[in-house]
A = this chain, B = another copy of it.
Amino acid sequence: MRLNRKDLLGIEELSKEEIELILSTAASFKEVSEREIKKVPTLRGKTIINLFYEASTRTRTSFEIAAKRMSADAVNISVAASSAKKGETLKDTAKNLEAMNPDCIVVRHSSAGAPHMLARYLKSSVINAGDGAHEHPSQALLDMFTVKERLGRLEGLRIVIAGDIAHSRVARSNMHGFKKMGAEVTLCGPPTMMPKGIESICGVKSDMKDAIKDADVIMMLRIQLERQKEALFPSVREYSRVYGLDNEKLNGSKKDVIILHPGPVNRGVEISPEVADGPWSLILEQVKNGVAVRMALFYLLLGGVKE
């Protein structure tokens, strides 16, 4: 089976059935990374370009490893923000890359909508690896995969997403995803970090202990420390005291709650080290599942022949 679409741009546009297809395909690829020989010939002779306008060791590496384990040829291009400004347009760059016959362009860009524009202009598949504060669909898919693998289902679960919701593409993609799958999403964070009018879509709470007390899943977001200049919160210490997840706050939550974080973690800021490394944390499992989800995306979009 294949996804009946050329691109993966966001969770918002996916149907529940498509998400289920991606998650079950990822499950079948996960064991490849645990074999002695971590490689399937599925996408031999395919060319995948990682076009990153924002630096990201983790996400780029995950896509690159996923491509190589599928036997595709992976080409990395990182464009510094400075040179992007004076150079050719994103569209011209992409049209030029496409002329080299890649099968898929994985793009990360600081502008919301950049991958969508590319997808419209290109015949190649486009995967959004994060566009501004808009979407980061492969992250949400790996988060859903991780929860489903652990808890057996998504339907009916209570998910709390906590932190800087307004500026988080991870939060946005996960809100769409978990709601589509029948989970109930509650947001928690300072009012300055909450999108306007979000109450009409999700539950919103401002007190962390209150928010997490019935949660099945707590997803902590990374605080962009560089945003502090915008004075969205009084101080890192204050933020951490009120919204940071530590054992004290976790005391009031369910015994088998699971904790996610998209990484990289600011230890002692949004999450305490004992929680990040504790028994309920699935942070590293998320990273592991990221490779499987990306292998599945390449497979479903590029239509390789399965082993």
Q: Which residues of A are in contact with B by a Cβ distance under 8 Å?
A: 33-39, 44-47, 49, 55, 57-58, 61-62, 64-65, 68-69, 73, 75, 77, 79, 83, 86-89, 92-93, 95-103, 225, 263-267, 284-288, 290-291
Contact A287–B47 (Cβ < 8 Å):
no
A287 to B94, alpha carbons, bound, how many Å? 12
State in angstroms the CA–CA spacing of A266 and B86 once bound together: 10
Q: Which residues of B contact A97 (CB under 8 A)?
A: 61
Measured CA separation A36–B45 after assembly (Å)? 7
User: CB distance B45 to A39 under 8 Å?
Assistant: yes
B57/A68 in contact, CB under 8 A: no
Instruction: From B38, B263, B265, B288, give the contact of A45 (CB < 8 A).
Output: B38
Collect the chain B residues with CB atoms within 8 Å of residue A88's CB: 263-267
Residues of B contacting A79 with CB < 8 Å?
57
Most chain B C-beta atoms within 10 Å of own C-beta, residue among A92, A102, A225, A288: A92
Copies of this chain held together in the complex: 3
Complex partner residue of A99 from B45, B99, B103, B285, CB under 8 angstroms: B285
Listed by A's residue number, 26 A-B pairs whose Cβ atoms lie within 8 Å are A35-B45, A37-B44, A37-B46, A38-B46, A38-B47, A38-B101, A39-B44, A39-B45, A39-B73, A47-B69, A49-B61, A57-B93, A61-B97, A62-B100, A65-B100, A65-B102, A87-B264, A88-B264, A88-B265, A88-B266, A92-B264, A92-B267, A99-B288, A100-B290, A101-B288, A101-B291
Q: Which of A36, A38, A57, A96 has the most CB of B within 10 A?
A: A96
A288 cross-chain contacts in B, Cβ below 8 A:
99-101
Q: Is B39's CB under 8 angstroms from A99's CB?
A: no
Q: Let me know if B64 and A83 touch, CB within 8 A.
A: no
- Report the minimum CB–CB distance from A295 to chain B (whole Å): 11
Q: Which chain B positions have C-beta within 8 A of A92? A: 263-265, 267
Interchain residue pairs A-B with the least CB separation, the first 10: A37-B45, A99-B287, A88-B264, A39-B45, A68-B73, A33-B101, A99-B288, A99-B284, A38-B45, A96-B287
Q: Shortest Cβ distance from A97 into chain B, in angstroms? A: 7
A89→B266 CA distance, assembly (Å) = 9
Q: How far is the CA of A61 from the CA of B79 in the complex (A)?
A: 13
Flag if A101 contacts B34 (CB, 8 Å). yes
- Since A35-B45, A100-B291 are in contact, a sample of 19 more A-B pairs with Cβ atoms closer than 8 Å, ordered by chain A residue number, is A33-B100, A34-B101, A36-B45, A37-B46, A39-B73, A47-B68, A57-B79, A57-B93, A68-B75, A87-B264, A88-B263, A88-B266, A92-B264, A96-B263, A96-B264, A96-B287, A98-B284, A99-B284, A99-B285
- Shortest CB-to-CB span from A259 to chain B, Å, is 15
Most chain B C-beta atoms within 10 Å of own C-beta, residue among A38, A284, A288, A291? A38
